[in-house]
Structure 1
């Protein structure tokens, strides 16, 4: 089923307003989710909307947060999100980072007491729009086992690096530090498909292709899947995200991070407040003139795009390119939603008394 972006945006805004968000926050939160769907990252778009509503029902999301800086230097800050939507808290934090970068060359902000913040790329792109290099990462509920472990201690812990180019679109490196994002499992569940071997293990530590394995004690694997294929590197990247996002900010880390699903209660022995993020903005002209950088990044892109490939029908894909292509297609033709997601969203519409989603 295809839904026009404008229709889906209005629908999403109405749901956020229905749970008590201000108009400004509803528009921003909807924009983050829509950017995910437009860029083809279906696991983090409106399919997550009912999850935010369920967390609000559990009083784990504050729709009217008092977001504030609790510690600050000229180039750094720590922000308390007051249990607000991460979709709102993280952009606020990136704005702080950008303002500091405008004054001092770079800005770095850690966040505590927040929630799921959507795709990391959204926040990184905010810096790119100011001709800066953007950084965004967040920890997440524990679904990933470290190398050699069968215990879920880390989240999928995504990180994003965003670089402004000249005549080409920005280079956006946005990835989970696990072998696959949990949203990929959710997509497989909705479609009734198995997942590739190397994504998850069962509770005994054996590979499985069952996308429901997490519900029976299994765990996602780090990027690299096993030690022979570099899972210790994925573990190291995930640890970096967890430490910068939470140990630095005062959020929960490791196994204490509260789950996104509302039917699971947060740990009763928290070590911090909510979920943590880490965002940064860095002025390119602190290193070299911005035009020079953009020209050379364009040259970098062209060289990699023209490189010899193993298969003549293939080409090197620049990070961020598939998402840009998806956005162009979906803006023109609509956003595809599977029937189970449409049904879920229309149940929300019935509950809050708003119009159901029509077909394009």
Structure 2
């Protein structure tokens, strides 16, 4: 099913309004999800809507949160999200970081008591628009086993770094710290396909290509897949995200992070509040004139794009380049939805009294 961007945006806003969100929050939440679908990151876009509704029905998402700063210095802050949508909370926190960066050169904000915040790139790009370097990360449902373990203790824990450029689009390094994001397993499940070896292990710690293995006690693997291929590095990156997002903010961390996936129940006796995020902004002109930096970024991009390649039909892909190409295409030609997602969304619409997708 191919849906135009305006139709899918209106549909998504109406779903959030049906949850009881304010118009401003519905518009913002829809914008975050649509950015994901437009950029080709289908695992984190409107396919997540049914998950938000499920958590709202369980009263784990507050549609009218009192989002506030609970601890603050000149350059740092901690935000309590009041169980609000991470799609709304993370932009609030990034705006705080940006304002602090405008005044003092950099701003750093940790968030607790939140929920799933969509793609990290959306929030990091807010800083880029101000000639700043943006940082965004979050912990997530415990689905990943650390190196040498078969116990799910960490989330896919994405991190994003975004750098402004001049004539070229910004460089956006937006990635999970696991070998693959859980959303990619869900895409494989919907399409009835297996996943590559090295993404997931079964309960006995053996590689499997079954995308349903998590539901039978399996776990995702850290970036690197196994120790011989550097999974300890992925584990270290994931741990960094978990500590900055969860331990630093007072959110939950490790196996206590409340799950977004339906087959896990919230753990007993959690040490913190909700899911945690960490966002930051640094003024480029705190280091050198922004125009000079962006000119050198253009030179950096151009040099890497012109690198010799093993296969002459291929070229070096700059981080963020495929997503931009997808966005330009989908804005013009529409956003593809697989049948399972389209069916799920229309069932959701009927349930909530919202106009279905055509």
Deviation at 1:355, TM superposition (A): 1.2
1:248 alignment partner in structure 2: 248
Deviation per CA, 1:282-309, whole angstroms, max 9, x where unpaired?
Answer: 0000000000000000000000000100
Q: Which residue of 1 aligns with 2:89?
A: 89
What TM-score does the superposition give when structure 2 sets the normalisation length?
0.99
Which residue number in structure 1 is paired with residue 352 of structure 2?
A: 352
Q: In the aligned structure 2, how far is the partner of 1:268 from the partner of 1:199?
A: 28
- Aligned partner of 2:279 in structure 1 is 279
User: 258-267 or 166-175: which moved more?
Assistant: 258-267
Give the corresponding residue for 1:174: 174
Q: Do the aligned residues in 2 keep the contact of 1:55 with 1:261 (CA within 8 Å)? A: no
Aligned position for 1:10: 10
- Tell me, yes or no, if the aligned pair for 2:215 and 2:263 is still in contact at 8 Å: no
Task: Please name the residue that 1:194 is paired with.
Answer: 194
Tell me if the contact between 1:222 and 1:231 (Cα under 8 Å) persists in the aligned partners. yes
Do the aligned residues in 2 keep the contact of 1:55 with 1:262 (CA within 8 Å)?
Answer: no
The equivalences for 1:133-282 within 5 A come to: 133-262=133-262, 264-282=264-282
| SS state at 1:277 partner | strand
**Alpha-carbon distance in 1 for matches of 2:266, 2:349:** 28
Deviation at 1:352, TM superposition (A): 1.5
Deviation at 1:261, TM superposition (A): 2.6
Could you tell me how far 1:268 is from its partner in structure 2? 1.3
Counterpart CA distance in 2 for 1:348 and 1:187 is 19
**Offset of residue 32 of structure 1:** 0.3
Aligned residue for 1:39? 39
Structure 1 contact 58–262 (Cα < 8 Å) conserved:
no
Question: Runs (4+) of structure 1 moved beyond 6 Å?
Answer: none
Alignment-derived partner of residue 74 in structure 1: 74
Q: 1:264 to 1:227 in 2, by over 3 A?
A: closer
Query: 1:80-125: CA deviations, max 9, x gaps?
Result: 0000000000000000000000000000000000000000000000
Unaligned runs of 5+ in 2: none
- Could you tell me which residue of structure 2 aligns to residue 129 of structure 1? 129
Take 1:103 and 1:69, find their aligned partners in 2: how far apart are those partners?
17
Deviations 1:291-345 (A, max 9, x none): 0000000000000000100000000000000000000000000000001100000
| Cα distance in 2 for residues equivalent to 1:82 and 1:355 | 30
Name the TM-score, length of structure 1 as normaliser: 0.99
Distance in 2, matches of 1:315 and 1:132, equals 28
Instruction: Indicate the SS of the match to 1:162.
Output: strand
Cα drift, residue 263 of structure 1: 5.2
2: CA distance, partners of 1:17 / 1:354: 10
CA contact (8 A) 2:141 2:261 kept: no
Partner of 1:107: 107
Cα displacement string for residues 139-159 of structure 1 (whole angstroms, at most 9, x for unaligned residues): 001000000000000000000
Q: Which moved more, 1:349-358 or 1:13-22?
A: 349-358
CA–CA distance in structure 1, aligned partners of residues 297 and 96 of structure 2: 26
The one-character-per-residue Cα deviations of 1:187-239 (angstroms, maximum 9, x if unpaired) are 00000000000000000000000000000000000000001000000000000
